[in-house]
Structure 1
Amino acid sequence: MKKKLGFLAFLLAMSMVVLAACGNDDSASDKSGDSDGEQITLEFWTMQLQPTFTDYINGIIEDFEAENPNIKIDWLDVPAADLDKKILSAVSTDTAPDVVNLNPTFASQLAELDALVNMEEAVSEDDKALYVKGAWEANQIGDVTFAIPWYLSTSVTLNNKQIFEEAGLDPEKPATTYEEAAEYAKIIKDETGKYGYFPSLDLSLVLQHMVMMGAELTNEDGTEAAFNTPEGLYAFEYFTDLYNEGLIPREALTGDQRATIDMYQAGQVAFFDGSQFIVQVKENAPEIYENTLPSEAITGKSGKKTMSVQNVVVPKQTKNQEAAVKFALFLTNGENQLEFSKLTPILPSNVESLADPYFTEADDDAEPTDLVRIVSASQLESAELLVPPMNNYTELRQAMYDAISAAMLGEMTPQEALDKAEAEWNEILAQ
């Protein structure tokens, strides 16, 4: 409790700094930008991109500085585990960088304090139209858009064709719904003794599964839990039944996503949501990789598919808002995002990049990595950030995980566990 109060006090201090900065009479002139040709230095922070992408980011910086000789970019790469604390500290001491790479969940906490530039006001309509709609909307709270989307991913199912064939199933007809996943899991277990489906429940995945199954997490204004419904109960019963019938590994509940990839690479699991691991499979288990067929993500009643988003934000403390937004737009333009996507298995948020054949066409000899990219890109229209930014997100996520764990382990009925989660969410949301 003391830790939580300390964090709230820290956020309050941040808000006071932000308000003080907003009240500065010189702020408008300080943020006028770079139109007068005055020499400007922008501080740019990224999240754990060095050393893999050092040349790429330096290349973007060189190109931008060549086009804008009066603007210099000072790049700092921060370990992912340290970034949240570091940006909080910088904002609270009025030393925030000009452009920062953040995820929507954490960025939204700064946005709630009015600490970030509203991109609805700072970005032109023409530039807004260049971004995938779902990615742009992932960064919205009310009428405020607190970030520009950078790179994306959507979930893709990896299927081991050999196990499908051993079970008498057609790998060209993989599971696309939760009901089919459960059906295939039983057939594969009965016919091969292996696990068919490995639905990880790590981190936010319980919440994502529930949304795809048709449950609403909260009411419209985010003040009360809204998942204690037939759809929410279905989610709890679905995973409890699979677990108790031995149709999914114990690690689905007790492990993390590393356990999923380990079992898939060992040939013990037929299919799982694992597009982000495809390069790892290629490196560690080449035979499994050759037998892998990517397919569309498994979804439920809602028809939704999950989208992960990485963004760039501009703190309001910047004295060079126009230049900072200009650099954020340059970083995320079509050409630069296409180049980035060819270096690592990500998707661009820029629609000009997505129009490239690299994301739409597969050769006859296309590898699983190529198919993951194309399937992933094809899902963007139906994909969205399934778990929106929420206050006290970590507590909410943990409460849901604890509740579904209680159901799956037989400590409560699914309905009792759902009731417990609802009560805890309402208490947390009321804070």
Structure 2
Amino acid sequence: MKKPMMLLFFCLLLFLSACSSSNQPSSSEANNQPSSSEANGEKQNQSDGEKTEVIFWHAMGGELEPVLNEIVDEFNKKQENIEVKPIFQGSYEEALTKFNTVAGTKDAPAIMQIFEVGTKYMIDSGKIQPVQKFIDEENYDTSQWEKNISNYYSVGGVQYSMPFNSSTPVLIYNKDVFKEAGLDPEKPPMTYSELKDAAKKLTKGQERYGFSILNYGWFFEELLAVQGGHFVDQENGREGNAQKAVFNSEEGLRVFELIADMYKEGTYYNVGTNWDDIRAAFQSGKIAMYLDSSAGVKAIVDNAPFDVGVSYLPVPDNVERQGVIIGGASIWMSAGIEEETQKAAWEFMKYLTTPEVQAKWHVESGYFAINPKAYEEDIVKQEWEKYPQLKVTVDQLHDTKPTAATQGALISVFPEARQKIVTAMENIYQGMDPKQALDRAAQEVDRALEVANKKQEN
């Protein structure tokens, strides 16, 4: 990728990915940057009794950082020859920007956490070591991984990275106002017509709106995929470099028409683009139903002053449900570092996927377990008794059909494409015809793809 394209890419990365960590680090964490010798993860002189150092750059700030650090500490205590050092690097966008400055050199971290929309970029960079190498070398059984998660990071039969923190969207609703409106709180809307009908009954003028979706491209992608719709051509960019956007299809138009119709009816609340704003609107009773990340369910249940329900994404009437796309991030192994360090990094990656570790991660972070056996652990069973809503998110994932639609699209200009969808949604609120808004967004993404493909060819 040439420098002009690289600059464009990183500017566009300012638009957050699904479930990006919104917590800010303390000043001490932000300044805790590795030196050149510390960051490279080079093999230490084990003849002197030192360990192979594995530097792990991540974006898990706030409450998630202590959880991750504890997992790393438990791994290190069990090792005689390996020591993993987790280093917080800011947001996903900031972390990727820093990684780009050292990628492919001995100063690169051994392990790097990258958000899902950076997948295509990482593959094309040539600066990473696909984990498939180690899977093949020891005939590692990847069937123990959740296929509907690992499939996102697999292209052409090659597993490029190991899934780590993964989430999907769900419908969250206020059970108390369901009862108040004469709706069954145990029967949330599953189709568009049911959603629109429920929203009408739940709306009380400007005091309370029935439904809302954050103006964020990820939710559109999910509502498209659950119908089996693709975002771009070339089998969603998985059979070659995508040339054209195809989200302005019948499936995409259904989503935009749903939003337009409900907005005109006064049952849909335009909350903007801020995650905190839509969650606050729900908790205050301003909206009765909305879409959120599965990773946020536990916090919503804890903070809402009413009984919270969680359900699958609604689908258009008479459309067969396909399932959801994974959001979140995965961990990648650097190329250009010593093989011994890569092997040590692989040992840590395998440790992360064990049922015990994944059970702890699921319970304390809200993200899915990469290894489904984790759900059989006692701590998970106890958590599900307290939060039955969490099981709903897992059930929706397990009911997902593995297709090119639910695997998710692969394009290097994803951040820009998501912003085009946001603009299109905002145009709807201004009265633009849904088809016109969607077609315009598709044309703009086509141009971005054309530029990106030409840059890659050069």
| TM-score range relative to shorter protein | 0.7 to 0.9
Whether the 8 Å CA contact 2:105–2:337 is kept in 1: the answer is no
In structure 2, the residue matched to 1:83 is 95
In structure 1, the residue matched to 2:159 is 145
Asked if residue 419 in structure 1 is aligned to residue 433 in structure 2, the reply is no
Which consecutive residues of structure 2, in runs of 5 or more, have no partner in the other structure?
11-41, 235-239, 452-458
In 2, distance between residues paired with 1:280 and 1:429? Answer: 38
In structure 1, the residue matched to 2:394 is 377
In structure 1, the residue matched to 2:274 is 256
What SS does structure 2 have at the residue aligned with 1:151?
strand
In structure 1, the residue matched to 2:26 is none
Distance 1:155 1:125, change over 3 A: farther
In 2, distance between residues paired with 1:9 and 1:53? Answer: 27
Asked if residue 316 in structure 1 is aligned to residue 335 in structure 2, the reply is yes
Give 1:199's match in structure 2, choosing from 185, 208, 213: 213
Distance 1:295 1:358, change over 3 A: farther
Distance 1:203 1:234, change over 3 A: closer
Offset at 1:360?
Answer: 5.9
Offset at 1:170?
Answer: 0.9
Identity of paired residues, percent?
Answer: 23
- 2:87 is matched by which residue type in structure 1? L
Distance 1:295 1:414, change over 3 A: closer
Whether the 8 Å CA contact 2:165–2:367 is kept in 1: the answer is yes
In structure 1, the residue matched to 2:149 is 135
Whether the 8 Å CA contact 1:176–1:296 is kept in 2: the answer is yes
What SS does structure 2 have at the residue aligned with 1:217?
coil
Give 2:260's match in structure 1, choosing from 237, 240, 244: 240
In structure 2, the residue matched to 1:18 is none
Offset at 1:374?
Answer: 1.2
Q: What's the TM-score, normalizing by structure 2?
A: 0.77
Whether the 8 Å CA contact 1:213–1:235 is kept in 2: the answer is no
Q: What's the TM-score, normalizing by structure 1?
A: 0.82
In structure 2, the residue matched to 1:22 is none
Offset at 1:113?
Answer: 1.7
What SS does structure 2 have at the residue aligned with 1:430?
helix
Q: Which moved more, 1:344-353 or 1:64-73?
A: 64-73
Which consecutive residues of structure 1, in runs of 5 or more, have no partner in the other structure?
11-29
In 1, distance between residues paired with 2:9 and 2:88? Answer: 28
In 2, distance between residues paired with 1:153 and 1:303? Answer: 17
What SS does structure 2 have at the residue aligned with 1:305?
coil
Offset at 1:248?
Answer: 0.3
Distance 1:343 1:190, change over 3 A: closer
In 1, distance between residues paired with 2:287 and 2:280? Answer: 9
Whether the 8 Å CA contact 1:347–1:373 is kept in 2: the answer is no
Asked if residue 179 in structure 1 is aligned to residue 179 in structure 2, the reply is no
Distance 1:159 1:429, change over 3 A: same
In 2, distance between residues paired with 1:82 and 1:403? Answer: 27
Offset at 1:48?
Answer: 2.7
State the Cα RMSD in Å.
3.1
Distance 1:109 1:426, change over 3 A: same
In structure 2, the residue matched to 1:119 is 131
- 1:419 is matched by which residue type in structure 2? D
Alignment of 1:293-304 (within 5 A): 293-300=309-316, 301=319, 302-304=321-323
Asked if residue 389 in structure 1 is aligned to residue 410 in structure 2, the reply is yes
In 2, distance between residues paired with 1:184 and 1:9? Answer: 41
What SS does structure 2 have at the residue aligned with 1:298?
coil
Offset at 1:62?
Answer: 4.2
What SS does structure 1 have at the residue aligned with 2:84?
strand
In structure 2, the residue matched to 1:68 is 79
Q: Which moved more, 1:105-114 or 1:292-301?
A: 292-301
